[in-house]
Structure 1
Amino acid sequence: MDTYHKYLPTSQADEKWGLTLLDVGYGTIPEAYTYPNEQQHPAAYRFKWEQGRILQEYQLIYISAGSGIFESTNGGKITIREGAVILLFPGEWHRYKPQDRTGWSEYWVGFNGKIADNLIRHSFFSKKKPVFFTGVRPDIIRLYQDIVDYTRHERSGYQPLVSGCVLYLLGLVYSLSKQQALSRTDDDHQQLVQKATALLRENVETKVTIEEIADQLKISYSLFRKVFKKYSGIAPGKYLLQLKIDRAKHLLLYTDKLIKEIAYDLNFESEYYFSKFFKEKTGVSPLTYKKSYSPKH
């Protein structure tokens, strides 16, 4: 996973919507890396571990891999593991960092607005419980990726759209926390499949193989394939190809990339093979799909 961050301007009209996205990003922090990298962010967002930080916004941070530590005034010190969601509150002192021996992969969104304030006022979220352990979930990762995609281009009217994604993300985290309060036991195989789908989604534009995914999950390829198909209804290789088709559709509709560039990004052998496979799965060629469904037309 590469690194991305963006700090966004907002208008009075955006603020009237009730929830505005202020910043978004993701990245992988390697082992024994100085965290955070202060040169990458505006002054108001920088902090040193010794002093910590106080923001004037909410942030929702998802740790999809690795481990670390979090501390805040009301929440105290909490050990962070993969699948943790950290909610930062405006005006609340906090600090966090990955462990040197593991590093971590993180996604985050920063936001403000009366809708968020109302959720806190009615005790849906509390400063005393700023961390939720949802497990590694591809649906959470997909929401962050959708927000990133929408903010790359900042098309007209994007703020209400991404604020809706943020609200959905908050709702999902809240729902999962309630489910876990009723039942703290997760099926090992279901969690394995969730981790696998998350890894596949994160690596849709890399040359990762199914065997490598199984190796990362410390399970034999044959057992991994059997378990994955049992719980998802599809073989992992076919699932990865479907993700590539979904990603190709998005790139065709919302970017100006050439078909051969998309084929290269998604690691198809050639533009010809990509176009042939795309038509087999969708019934139309990539060019026809772009012409028929692009919002520009």
Structure 2
Amino acid sequence: MKIAPESFTRYLPVSSQSIRWGWHLIDAGRQHVPPGSSYPSDGHPLNYRFDSDGGRVLDEFQVVYIASGKGRFSSRSAKEKEIKTGDALLLFPGESHRYRPDPATGWNEYWLGFSGTDATRVMEAFFSPRDPVLRCQHTGELTRLFDQLLHWVSSPTASSPQLLASHIPMILAFLKTGSNERSDEAALVQQAKMQMLSDLSKRTDLQAIARELGTSYTHLRSTFKKHTGYAPREFENMIKLKRAHDLLLSGKYNVSDTAEALGFNSLHYFSRAFRKAYGQSPKSWLKQNEASAKQRFPSPSTRETSP
């Protein structure tokens, strides 16, 4: 017998780092709604609850993914329609909407809420309130992404806002490729990215990823470079070097610790890659950015705290 996933909800405090990053994860969760049960469940903040007519308006973007079950959805810009397993709902700020599961089936849903300058740009460029229900082709990948995000959100030591927010564009990319003629290639690239980002403390085995994705490394490399402009290893190093900025500026990691934490084979290789990307050694870069470090990572007495 298949066991329904445990319901989980988390609302995250505002972070100045994530605001500057351009992608800000505001909330995330999953909910198991058995047949015949009330919807939505209790426990959500007032500004997320539906009114007496079953509608609401949010101040953020949301993606609601229906992992199983069916129901109905409507919004100010879209007529009522049936939604079913594998559909994703796109909710836009200021756009009134209503949705609920069919009492006969219930459903299992995942969701995340987000905002940010880059998030707004992508949503306005590639998605529309007039077409808010998307049919997903990559249901397994979406489920794994949501489960990974919720695992990190619920961990005793919360992941950085940037790593949490990195799930948002990946999820949106999977939704967008559902109607893209080149969706097979795009999905291959997104799955490879997802595995690279899953554990930045290790050097990714790219040959193993290619085998797992059912292709050769030569094909993976050429497809990845065509879609991103980077070879897979170049992309991985770029992400790790951006993460190195935060680790170095935090004051908790020296250059050697940072190289080890990010899975570089040696301090020499890390320093060489850093210099190639930024034109100076990690030590020189850190010295130049010490003032920025004090602003981004304040002392404990002034550090932002969760409400």
Q: TM-score, normalised by structure 1?
A: 0.58
Whichever residue aligns with residue 17 of structure 2, its letter is: A
Partner of 1:7: 11
Partner of 2:99: 96
Q: List 4+ stretches of structure 1 deviating above 4 A.
A: none
* 1:60-209 matched pairs, under 5 angstroms: 60-122=63-125, 124-135=126-137, 137-153=139-155, 155=157, 158-179=160-181
SS in 2 for 1:61: strand
CA-atom RMSD, angstroms? 2.5
Taking the aligned partners of 2:169 and 2:17, their CA distance within structure 1 comes to 18
Distance 1:85 1:49, change over 3 A: farther
Whichever residue aligns with residue 154 of structure 2, its letter is: R
Partner of 1:28: 32
The answer to whether the 8 Å contact 2:177/2:183 transfers is no
* 1:251-266 matched pairs, under 5 angstroms: none
How many aligned positions are there? 185
Whichever residue aligns with residue 22 of structure 1, its letter is: I
Taking the aligned partners of 1:50 and 1:180, their CA distance within structure 2 comes to 41
* 1:206-245 matched pairs, under 5 angstroms: none
Taking the aligned partners of 1:180 and 1:102, their CA distance within structure 2 comes to 34
Deviation of 1:48 after TM superposition, in Å, equals: 3.6
- 1:43 is aligned, of 42, 46, 58, to 46
Whichever residue aligns with residue 150 of structure 2, its letter is: V
The answer to whether the 8 Å contact 2:138/2:174 transfers is no
* 1:274-289 matched pairs, under 5 angstroms: none
Taking the aligned partners of 1:181 and 1:31, their CA distance within structure 2 comes to 34
Gaps of 5+ in 1: 183-231, 234-292
The answer to whether the 8 Å contact 1:82/1:136 transfers is no
SS in 2 for 1:178: coil
Q: TM-score, normalised by structure 2?
A: 0.56
Whichever residue aligns with residue 150 of structure 1, its letter is: W
Deviation of 1:166 after TM superposition, in Å, equals: 1.0
Taking the aligned partners of 1:157 and 1:66, their CA distance within structure 2 comes to 31
Partner of 1:200: none
Residue deviations 1:258-287 (CA, integer Å, cap 9, x gap): xxxxxxxxxxxxxxxxxxxxxxxxxxxxxx
Gaps of 5+ in 2: 185-212, 215-259, 263-307
Identical positions, percent: 33
Deviation of 1:49 after TM superposition, in Å, equals: 6.0
Deviation of 1:177 after TM superposition, in Å, equals: 2.3
Deviation of 1:120 after TM superposition, in Å, equals: 3.0
Taking the aligned partners of 1:154 and 1:43, their CA distance within structure 2 comes to 26
Taking the aligned partners of 1:144 and 1:181, their CA distance within structure 2 comes to 20
Whichever residue aligns with residue 168 of structure 1, its letter is: M
The answer to whether the 8 Å contact 2:78/2:130 transfers is yes
Residue deviations 1:60-83 (CA, integer Å, cap 9, x gap): 011011000011001221210100
1:52 and 2:83 equivalent? Answer: no
SS in 1 for 2:180: helix
Taking the aligned partners of 1:105 and 1:156, their CA distance within structure 2 comes to 25
